[in-house]
Structures are given as structure tokens and as C-alpha cells.
Amino acid sequence: MRARTGLLLALMLGACTAVYGPGPYPAVGTFYDHDEILTGDVRIDFSTRDSFITLQARNSKFYCEGISRMTYDPPLSVACKGMVNLAQFRCSNGRRLTVDWVASSCAAGEGTGSDDTGARFSFAFGMPQAEAQQYLASAAKAVAGKPSYGGGAASRGGSGTGFLISSDGLVVTNHHVIDGANAIEVHQGTAVYVASVIARDAANDLAVLKTEMKGRPLRLTSARASMRGDEVLTLGYPLPDIEGETQKATFGRINATVGLEDDARYLQIDIPIQPGNSGGPLLNRRGEVIGVVSATLNSGAVFRATGILPQNVNYAVKADYIAVMIPASAQLAVAPPLEATELPALVGVVENSVVRIISKP
């Protein structure tokens, strides 16, 4: 029998709402080559056609949270059968999981996936309780004696984005991108530079690195003049293991001049961002840095509290908090800001000043 996946069942098909409720629906799974069993549940938001999924590892005790979205809807689908979905998870041990699965009904499905190290796993979702218990017992017997899964954030390093702010090689990124790293690399195209941390601000999630890289420094400016509705741009390296290592540009607007719970340190933005965008510059139409892309609203927490999944609610630390971290000797950009222009025209001007940050354990 084909391995069943479920953890991710995003059974969010509007046509099924009359028959199926939002859940939770239980899910079970196992890794192929590791002694690890997974259990979890799926909760469906039929209004957005997304699902929120949680799972817990029986042996390693890590947990994962993720969102599943439909990628293909067969034209003649009956009761959701054949709908293809993609789910991505972030786990407490630092791993990321990705799963492709196919719905067998609006409350069941199966598929396979892997983590960011290539470890493969499968899940079953929506089976009766007795069948789920039988599945778990059989899976536990099949993987007994295999290597433990384990793994953790400290052992795998991390990846983020940064940007050049001075002609003598100072680079700004988020503190969480380099926190705990024993070695830091800055990748500017094909060139790789070793970086050292010269200033940290964990409270505001900022860090300044010293490198030998050269280039056009981006101009910092205060975010105080920013207004709701202003167009903004960021460049970065989101999910490089999935999307590739090519720099990506995303566009949006400022939604609020304060962050979560009216935190004055942040701007709320609707630019789409993913893990890996952290530390990227938030640019206005004059090519000035008004913030540092930092975080996204925790979809899981919001779903548990309200029953809905937020869309594109993201935050950037205001650039004002960078100024106090910069050494007096820094050779900052002295050229005047660019003339206000359409955002896509800025990409080619600033792209070489935005770099990928690799943190190594």
C-alpha cells in the first residue's frame, strides 16, 4: 500500500464545507530511515482554502507547525478527490519539512515529503481511529533499530539576507540570522567574504557585520516620514533550498507605522516574505533603507486564537535603530538619494548591495 500522508491535509475545498467541518482531523506518519513516529492534527480554514497543521515527534519530542495550500484542483473533482496540495513546516529542532499530498476526500489524503537534509517521511490523514493505531504500531515496528532522527538548529546553521551600508564593508542583518554562529559568510554573487560581528542589538533584532566586500552602500534614512500606503520593496534570498539561491525581489506597501500591539519600533508591511528574507532592506521609492525585514505574524498562533489564517502580515524594524550601532568611523553613503521612481526600476540599482548571509555552527 502506498505510504499515506496526512499531516498536511489542507482539505479546504469550499464545495466540501457542507459535509466536512474544520476539524481537527488526526494525522499520523513516520520517517523511512529513522526511528521516529509522528502524530498531529489538521484544522481547515474553508474561507481561504488553507489548512493549519501541527505534529509531534514521539521519540525526539520536537514539534512542527505549518500551512498547507492547494496547488491543483482537478476540473471534474468529486468530494475533493484528486486535489494536489503542498505543505511546508517549521519545526522546533530547526528543521523544515515539505510535503506534497493528494486528497482522497475532503477529510483524508496521503503523500510523501522530506526535510531540508533530505530525510524522507510519509503521513496518513483522516483514517479511522482503529486504523490509525494499527498504522502507528506497524510503522514503529518497521523503523525500530534505525538511527534516531534528532537534529537541531544549532547543528544546521542558518541563512538570511543582509545589505551593505558603508564603503568600508559594513553589512546590516537581523540578529536572529547570526545568533549562535561560530562562523559567518557573506555571499555577494560568486564572491564569498568572512564576516565578524561588530555590533548586536538582540532586543531590536539587529546586527552589524564587518566584511572586506566592496560595492555601492545603501543609504539609511529615518522611517518617521513613512506613511501608510507608501510603496516599498525588498530583495532577499527566501527558502534557498526550495526556491533556489537566486536573489528575489518582492513589492508591497506600508500598512501601519507600528508593529504588533502598536509596537513603535516596527513598520507593518504586506510584502510577501519567507524564511531567508530576514535581514533584507526595506526600500522606499528613492532607494533609501527605511527598515530591515524582520518577521511575519505567527499564523499558527492567530489560527488557534481566531480560527482564521492571516494573509501577508509582516514586519520590518525601523532603520532609525541602526544608527546607534554604527561606528563613528564608518564610511556611510554620502551621495544624495535617488529621484523617486517606480520600484521595479530600483532593483538593478541596488541588487549588488544586497547579500546572502550564511551562519555556520
Per-residue pLDDT tens digits for 12-70 = 223 333 356 666 888 888 998 888 988 888 887 766 678 888 888 888 878 788 888 88
pLDDT class of 153 with cuts at 50, 70, 90: very low
When mean pLDDT is compared over 185-199, 230-244, 285-299, the highest value belongs to: 185-199
Task: For the chain, give the percent of residues with pLDDT over 90.
Answer: 35
Domains of the chain, start order = 14-143 (2.40.128.120), 157-360 (2.40.10.120)
pLDDT tens-digit readout, 292-313:
998 776 555 555 556 666 677 8
Alpha-carbon distance values, 296 to 56, 293, 301, 313 (Å): 23, 9, 12, 6
pLDDT at position 85: 87
For 252, the grid coordinates are 508591497
Which residue in 5, 11, 1, 66 sits closest to 38, CA to CA?
Answer: 5
pLDDT at position 334: 65
* Measured distance CA(47)–CA(50) in Å, rounded: 8
pLDDT tens-digit readout, 75-97:
877 878 888 888 888 887 777 88
The label of the residue with cell 523544515 reads 96
Q: For the beta carbon of residue 290, count every other beta carbon within 10 angstroms.
A: 24
Query: DSSP E strands: which ranges in 92-133?
Result: 96-105, 108-115, 120-125
